[in-house]
Structure formats: structure tokens, C-alpha cells
């Protein structure tokens, strides 16, 4: 007989699986659940498949999540078919002590913000490496209309940020919405609400990856000693 690995030996992947399973407790039976994007959410989708008979289906925030949901037999609804969702479950690249986040490492930030906005609660699932005091250590993703990219890069330079267009296979990455992503380093975002409002109104910006107006209500944080629940409301 083998004994379980000590908690401290949990890998980042196992921490993600742990919070993915823990998020099932926040899924409302008989309802449609909002589903984010990323490696942590993939663990949640796998867990969700074990209770798929208890939910009506999902609204998805990306082509990748939709494909995974479909592969596991979970019905996917268009966001326009659903007025309000009880809960949205998604990961984050950074989360601070007030539930404000940086998201978009997986380039799905715009659809993520749309589904978050139509949900009554945002449950963030993340491993403990994502918890920060001040947002900005992770390069901030911003989805832009391609013709505005260099202008937005120059606007960030005026704020002290260094921005570059994200590439995949040597060419500019194209999002699910047909747009580009710029990633901005060198920022320290001390006023996430004001920063999000300002950048979102720059011409050509589709969405900035600061989630302050759509912050998390709860964060399930995977730590070596178990899942820690952080509440922000």
C-alpha cells in the first residue's frame, strides 16, 4: 500500500486540480454555469463533467474551453441566449487582497470579462503563486484592434510601461475575436478601478486585462496545506 504524498510535495498542476474540484461546491444545481479559460479552468471543466447531470450547461469564454466542454458532453450556450448566470468560475494571472485581478495570459480576456459581467458571482480559482499585494508583476495583457497597436504601445510608454505585441509562431497572435494582444511590463497598478476605466477608453483598446469592475467575490487558492478560501464581499 502506498501512502499519499505529503501536502508540501503537491505540484502546481495538483494545486490547480485541487481548486478545480473545490469550485464544484459553488456551482448551482439546475443552472447554467459561466466557464473561464486556462489550465486551472481545464481542471474545473474535468471536475464539472462528473456532475454534468446536475447542471443545464455552460456559457464559455473561449473556443478552447468550448471544445473541452463539448468533448466532455457538457452543453454550451451562446452568451446572448442567457440573461444572467449565478456564477462564473475562472482563473487569474494575479489576484490581490481586494479580489482585483490581472487576466488574459491565455488571450481570452474580452470574452472572460463579458461572461463575468453577466454573472452574479465571480469565483476565482488559482494556485497560491497568483496571490500578490499589488497588480503589475505579471505582464498586463490588453486586447487591441490591430491598427491601434503601436499607438497603444506609445500610450503605455507615457505611463512608464513597456509594451509589445504578443506573438505565436513568429507572427502576431490572433485572438478568438480576430484582434491582437499587447503585453505590458513595468506597471505598478495601485488604483485598479481607475486604471481599468482609463485604459478601456483609449481608442482601439478592446479590453484591458485588469478585472477590477468585474473583480472576484471569492478566491479558492490552492496552497500546499489545502484550499484556502478568500472572500472579498
Q: Which residues are catalytic?
A: 112
Do 195 and 201 meet the contact criterion of CB atoms below 8 Å apart? no
Phi, psi for 14 (deg, rounded to 5): -70, -35
Compute the distance between CA of residue 182 and CA of residue 160 in angstroms, rounded to an integer: 15
Query: Is 108 a residue that touches ligand 5RP (CB under 6 A)?
Result: yes
- Residue 192 CB, shortest distance to ligand 5RP, in Å, is 15
**Which 16-55 positions form the footprint of ligand 5RP (CB under 6 A)?**
36-40
- Torsion, Cα 125 129 131 136, to 10 degrees, reads -110
Q: Is 98 exposed, middle or buried (0-12, 13-18, 19+ CB in 10 A)?
A: middle
Q: Which is nearer to ligand 5RP, 15 or 74 (CB)?
A: 15
- Residue 23 CB, shortest distance to ligand 5RP, in Å, is 12
Query: Is 113 a residue that touches ligand 5RP (CB under 6 A)?
Result: no
Q: Could you tell me how far CA 3 lies from the centroid of its own chain?
A: 35
Compute the distance between CA of residue 143 and CA of residue 106 in angstroms, rounded to an integer: 11
Question: How many positions of this chain bind ligand 5RP (CB under 6 A)?
Answer: 17
DSSP state of 6: P
The order of strands in the sheet holding 226-231 is 76-77, 57-60, 32-35, 85-90, 119-127, 218-223, 226-231
- Residue 18 CB, shortest distance to ligand 5RP, in Å, is 13
**Which 79-98 positions form the footprint of ligand 5RP (CB under 6 A)?**
90-93
- Residue 37 CB, shortest distance to ligand 5RP, in Å, is 4
Q: Which is nearer to ligand 5RP, 20 or 161 (CB)?
A: 20
Query: Is 161 a residue that touches ligand 5RP (CB under 6 A)?
Result: no
**Which 169-228 positions form the footprint of ligand 5RP (CB under 6 A)?**
none
Q: Which is nearer to ligand 5RP, 37 or 66 (CB)?
A: 37
- Residue 62 CB, shortest distance to ligand 5RP, in Å, is 7
Buried b (16+ CB within 10 A) or exposed e, 171-205: eeeebbeebbbbbbeebebeebeebbeebeeeebb
Q: Which is nearer to ligand 5RP, 139 or 161 (CB)?
A: 139
Q: Which is nearer to ligand 5RP, 56 or 228 (CB)?
A: 228
Chain residues binding ligand 5RP by CB under 6 A are: 36-40, 90-93, 103-109, 112
Amino acid at each position: 500500500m502506498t501512502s499519499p504524498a505529503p501536502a508540501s510535495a503537491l505540484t502546481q498542476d495538483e494545486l490547480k486540480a485541487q481548486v478545480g474540484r473545490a469550485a464544484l461546491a459553488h456551482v448551482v444545481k439546475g443552472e447554467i454555469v459561466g466557464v473561464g479559460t486556462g489550465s486551472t479552468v481545464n481542471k474545473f471543466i474535468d471536475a464539472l463533467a462528473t456532475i454534468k447531470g446536475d447542471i443545464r450547461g455552460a456559457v464559455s469564454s473561449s473556443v478552447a474551453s468550448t471544445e473541452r466542454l463539448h468533448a466532455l458532453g457538457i452543453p454550451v450556450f451562446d452568451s446572448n441566449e442567457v440573461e444572467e448566470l449565478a456564477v462564473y468560475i475562472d482563473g487569474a494571472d494575479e489576484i490581490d487582497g481586494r479580489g482585483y485581478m490581472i487576466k488574459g495570459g491565455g488571450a481570452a480576456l474580452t470574452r472572460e470579462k463579458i461572461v463575468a459581467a453577466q454573472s452574479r458571482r465571480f469565483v476565482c480559482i488559482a494556485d497560491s503563486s497568483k496571490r500578490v499585494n499589488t497588480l503589475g508583476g505579471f505582464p498586463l495583457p490588453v486586447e487591441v484592434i490591430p491598427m491601434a497597436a503601436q499607438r497603444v504601445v506609445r500610450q503605455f510608454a507615457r505611463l512608464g510601461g513597456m509594451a509589445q505585441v504578443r506573438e505565436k509562431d513568429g507572427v502576431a497572435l490572433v485572438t478568438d475575436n480576430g484582434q491582437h494582444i499587447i503585453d505590458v511590463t513595468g506597471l505598478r497598478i495601485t488604483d485598479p478601478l481607475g486604471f481599468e476605466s482609463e485604459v478601456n477608453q483609449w481608442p482601439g483598446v478592446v479590453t484591458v486585462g485588469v478585472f477590477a469592475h468585474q473583480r472576484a467575490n471569492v478566491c479558492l487558492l490552492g496552497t500546499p496545506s489545502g484550499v484556502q478560501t478568500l472572500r472579498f464581499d
